[in-house]
């Protein structure tokens, strides 16, 4: 593939939007912990606006732009061809960008303070929802391209295994396609008509149910690029091989199937759904742990192989021989540590009884930050350090600074989230600007506020280090010697695959049945049960 055919500009444009907005979100997070610790004057309106902007950027803008850009680059690199329909891809990018600008307008003018969750009766200005809709619609262009490209490649290469990175990128595109349906229905049929004034009310039970459809599967949409790096970039950087191509495909298929009808564990304490449906979704939530365990085993197996190929001996001697000056490897080790701790917390959240003890406390953001801002985002950093030289043709400005930045992020995340877990168990509520409660409850929390503030400062410093390194790489005069994006080869080359491991026809059929089973009646009940004379859509 020639230099002209690579999607450098397309991928870089997406990733720069992701990184610049991430820097803004990092400082908004710092503002929140300082305000909560009362190191700056309390300002409730500013706090809630900050929570909204921080959450919108981290959950929707950073992730969507980064994943789409990463997907385009991986597709083009693995299939050795230009992006299909670049006009559609750029059109999607511009639509997403316009959507972000509309959301920003709603937030900065004080008309979008809805805490980034789509829960009426909290209602934002219509520009907030139209902007969110444009962000989603723009990303559909990416879904289409990630489906069309492998289909065309397979027609030209009959019987050949689709490259693993393309297979998993398409899996993520399909996951996003299934995931976005719930929130799209809510936004189009409830929130936009409500915000414009076409209707006076909506059924909040239906709204929360539709958002729950999207709420948890979206986490795996964010997480899959990290898993792709675990399987296909880390072994290569470490000097080893992928333990098993087939096992990797099974893990990603399990993520795709099991991660979809599980969102109702966010509604455990809500009265809109019967307990049986919540139990159904709880089982699905625990099943997602299976591909995660497979991933952990595969990553460690690949790293052990790399260490032994480098001369490592004994039970743990191979660990010392790994190239610990590589950002990708450091990020992986730190990510797995945070994934283990965050996963443990997630098991508590997913458990029907224990969830009640920590519901809406600081335990929830502590778990979420370990999984998302810890495991997922630190791997985004590593991917950025790996791709920036290949996309720009410039050497990474400083590998040692990159490694330091990853360690600073990890330390900051621990300083921030360990106290959050503790005060969560003590009952400190989340997402509150002020804490006007009985001193008997509030006093034990105060000893942790200083640590939270320090954690926020450390994370903001790490964010600046990241952006500085990427900017300096962009303008670096030293040329990158190897601009080809290479992926780990499996120990045993894959010559052929059964159709279910080389495509998604079977799995989409299973998902359709699974989604109808998991969401069919819980949504239909709002239309067939005459509860309090509520109108599901408000009309």
Active site residues: 216, 220, 367-369, 430-431
Dihedral sign of CA atoms 31, 110, 15, 176 in order: positive
| Dist. CA 69–CA 89, nearest whole Å | 10
Q: What does the block give as tokens for 253?
A: 């298929």
Residue 536 has which token pair?
Answer: 């599901």
Q: Which residues of 39-52 are buried (b: 16+ CB within 10 A; e: fewer)?
A: eeeeeeebbbbbbb
Task: Kindly list the distances between the CA atom of residue 224 and the CA atoms of 165, 253, 330, 372, 417, in Å, as whole numbers in the listed order.
Answer: 11, 11, 19, 11, 23
Residue 65 · residue 13 · CB < 8 Å: no
**Which of helix, strand or coil describes residue 1?**
coil
Other residues' Cβ atoms within 10 Å of the Cβ of residue 120: 21
Strands (E), 358-493: none
SS3 215: helix
Q: How far apart are CA 17 and CA 20, in angstroms?
A: 5
Torsion sign, CA atoms 93, 94, 95, 101: positive
Q: Which of 114, 88, 98, 77 is nearest to 485 (CA)?
A: 77
Contact 228, 140 (CB under 8 A): no
Other beta carbons within 10 angstroms of residue 398's beta carbon come to 17
Hey, is 479 helix, strand or coil? strand
As a whole number of angstroms, the distance between CA 54 and CA 46 comes to 12
Burial class (CB in 10 A: 0-12, 13-18, 19+), 353: exposed
């Amino acid at each position: 593939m020639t230099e002209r055919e690579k999607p450098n500009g397309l991928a870089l444009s997406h990733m720069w939007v992701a990184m610049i907005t991430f820097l803004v979100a990092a400082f908004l997070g710092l503002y929140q912990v300082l305000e909560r610790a009362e190191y700056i004057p309390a300002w409730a309106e500013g706090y809630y606006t900050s929570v909204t902007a921080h959450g919108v950027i981290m959950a929707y803008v950073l992730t969507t732009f980064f994943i789409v850009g990463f997907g385009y680059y991986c597709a083009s690199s693995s299939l050795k061809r230009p992006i299909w329909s670049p006009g559609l891809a750029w059109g999607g990018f511009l639509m997403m960008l316009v959507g972000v600008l509309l959301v920003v307008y709603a937030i900065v003018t004080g008309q979008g303070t809805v805490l980034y969750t789509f829960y009426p009766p909290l209602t934002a200005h219509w520009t907030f929802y139209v902007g969110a809709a444009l962000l989603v619609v723009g990303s559909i262009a990416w879904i289409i391209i990630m489906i069309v490209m492998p289909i065309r490649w397979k027609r030209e290469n009959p019987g050949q295994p689709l490259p693993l990175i393309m297979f998993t990128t398409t899996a993520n595109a399909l996951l996003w396609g299934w995931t976005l349906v719930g929130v799209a229905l809510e936004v189009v049929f409830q929130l936009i008509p409500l915000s414009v004034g076409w209707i006076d009310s909506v059924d909040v039970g239906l709204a929360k149910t539709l958002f729950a459809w999207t709420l948890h599967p979206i986490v795996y949409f964010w997480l899959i690029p990290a898993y792709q790096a675990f399987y296909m970039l880390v072994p290569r950087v470490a000097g080893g091989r992928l333990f098993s191509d087939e096992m990797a495909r099974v893990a990603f298929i399990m993520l795709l199937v099991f991660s979809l009808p599980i969102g109702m564990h966010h509604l455990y304490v809500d009265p809109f759904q019967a307990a049986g449906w919540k139990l159904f979704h709880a089982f699905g939530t625990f099943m997602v742990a299976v591909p995660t365990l497979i991933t952990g085993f595969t990553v460690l197996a690949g790293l052990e192989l790399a260490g032994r190929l480098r001369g490592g001996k004994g039970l743990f001697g191979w660990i010392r021989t790994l190239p610990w000056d590589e950002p990708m490897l450091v990020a992986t080790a730190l990510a797995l540590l945070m994934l283990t701790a965050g996963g443990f917390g997630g098991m508590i959240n997913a458990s029907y009884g224990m969830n009640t003890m920590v519901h809406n406390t600081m335990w929830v953001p502590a778990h979420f930050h370990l999984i998302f801002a810890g495991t997922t985002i630190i791997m985004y950093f590593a991917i950025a350090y790996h791709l920036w030289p290949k996309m720009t043709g410039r050497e990474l400005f400083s590998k040692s600074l990159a490694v330091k930045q990853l360690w600073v992020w990890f330390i900051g995340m621990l300083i921030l989230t360990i106290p959050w877990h503790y005060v969560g168990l003590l009952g400190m509520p989340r997402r509150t600007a002020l804490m006007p409660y009985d001193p008997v409850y509030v006093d034990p929390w105060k000893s942790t506020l200083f640590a939270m503030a320090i954690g926020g400062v450390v994370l903001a410093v790490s964010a600046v280090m990241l952006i500085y390194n990427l900017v300096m790489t962009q303008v670096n005069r030293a040329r990158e010697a190897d601009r080809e994006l290479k992926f780990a080869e499996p120990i045993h080359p894959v010559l052929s695959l059964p159709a279910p491991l080389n495509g998604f026809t079977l799995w989409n059929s299973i998902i359709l049945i699974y989604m109808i089973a998991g969401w069919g009646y819980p949504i239909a009940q709002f239309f067939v049960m005459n509860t309090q004379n509520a109108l599901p859509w408000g009309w």
